[in-house]
Amino acid sequence: MKTTVAIAIATAALALTLWAGPVRASDRPNVVLMLADNLGFGDLSVYNGGTRGGFRTPNIDSLAAEGLRLTQFLVEPGCTPSRAALQTGQYSIRNGMSLIIAPGASGGLQDDDITLGELFKSVGYDTTYVGKWHLGPQPVSQPQNQGFDQWLVGFAGTTDSSTYGDNLRALGMGQDMVDAFGARIIEARGPGEAAFVRPYDSDYRKQIEGDIAAAASGYIRQQAETDTPFFLMIGWTRPHFPNDTADEFVGLSGAGKYGDSVMELDLRTGEILAAIEDAGLRDRTIVIWLSDNGATVTATAIDEVHAGDNGPFRGELGDAYEGSIRTAGMIRWPGEIEPRVSNEMFAIHDFFPTLAAIIGAELPDDRPIDGVDQTGFLLGASETSARDSLITFIGDRIAAVRWRQFRMYPFEIGVSDTNPAVGGYMGVKTETAGFPQIYNIEADPKERVNLAHAGAGWAVALYLQTIQQYLATLVEYPNPPAPNVTDFR
């Protein structure tokens, strides 16, 4: 049986410390968390200053203006790792998910993992997940068996599994093989097996974002008729390849399919925000809007030559550089979070303990939690973040260490020599001669000057200290085997 999360109804004194609001279940804030798929730091006009022509995102921009916009929101370098970190508050390697779960691969959340869904259920929330999951193909790993009451418009794998299904069918493969690659839409209302709804193919790829928005909006309207607080998580599919959109968005951005896809994402976000407003829930609902990782830059299909933008930062989806792990993040909570822009460090792992503090849920004490409680920072009790470091993993390796403004790398990820050249997960790895590379990300956002031999060698001590603190936790809590799809020893 899954480990039970202890229910903790916060005392009045604790509630006043964390949040000035009441603690009755019916008075806890609703939470709507939206997660974009492979959106870069420079893809939203609120982040890029409107420098990409007609490629604008007014709904997301408005949300950012009404809450806390983070300019140093840090994630993990891929869909699965970031989603695992968000759901568990742990580094993805602690749950064996430090690589993207490839089509046909196993792995994912297990019975003893504790997720955001379970955290909210432990204090009486109604919980629903809509859209992309990508935390394991087996039923045990899926939302309906990980704390969510239902899973709507769901698919278990990667967004581009729509093309896998088409290709497999063209090769004469049977439906069982297509299903194994996640090329199907499924739904679950209650625990157990999810039910098949329809194939996830290239035609449905154009329609899916509208269906996700409609299902989520319907749920919000339904919950407005009850006194039960709710946690709704929306796994958008845009702007992950392939970016074929609904017809009304084709050519709209002037920036190719990718730009059109981001503009559809913005409109669908607007539909969710309108549903919250129309239901009269705006002042009682925390809205969190994030991207799971940076954009792909070097490798795109021929009809998606206009790819994502990771702002001023080096790197892309799948490597450990700033462009891979620094992306868009914003949080709106009317009357509680002051609208502002902050460059304080905030990691995707931090939502687990922070939301637990806000809703009065007890954190599990039988495992390390790598997220830190950012309640004081969010609510204005502290001007500074509670975080000053972060470790990034790729597979079984520590790939980067962040300490304040310094980024340190034990090896380098480069672009391949293939035609077309590719980077990120498809790139190449180069070992150093024994010392990490060191960059000052504030002075050198493109990471052009290695400071290891230019007066910043002292930072190696902080690099090693951060790693040793993490390694010390493995004595009592060893990691499961890390994923690997190239080395089968």
Q: What's the rounded Cα separation, in Å, for the pair 433 and 410?
A: 9
Q: What's the rounded Cα separation, in Å, for the pair 294 and 79?
A: 10
Q: What's the rounded Cα separation, in Å, for the pair 76 and 391?
A: 9
Q: What burial letters (b/e) apply to 315-340, b meaning 16+ CB within 10 Å?
A: bbbbbbbbbbbbbbbbbbbeebbeee
Catalytic residue IDs: 79, 134
Q: What's the rounded Cα separation, in Å, for the pair 52 and 70?
A: 21
Q: Phi and psi of 278, rounded to 5°?
A: -65, -30
Q: Reduce the DSSP state of residue 48 to 3 states and report it.
A: helix
Helices of type H across 140-293: 161-170, 175-180, 202-205, 208-223, 256-278
**Residue among 147, 192, 151 nearest 355 (CA):** 147
**Residue among 78, 119, 70 nearest 359 (CA):** 119
Kindly tell me the burial class for residue 227, based on how many C-beta atoms sit within 10 Å of its own C-beta (0-12, 13-18, 19 or more).
exposed
- In contact, 406 and 456? CB cutoff 8 Å: yes
Helices of type H across 316-407: 322-325, 351-359, 375-378
Helix 256-278 and helix 58-65: axis angle, to 10°?
Answer: 50
- Tell me the torsion sign for CA atoms 332, 338, 341, 344: negative
- Tell me the torsion sign for CA atoms 328, 150, 178, 214: negative
Kindly tell me the burial class for residue 443, based on how many C-beta atoms sit within 10 Å of its own C-beta (0-12, 13-18, 19 or more).
exposed
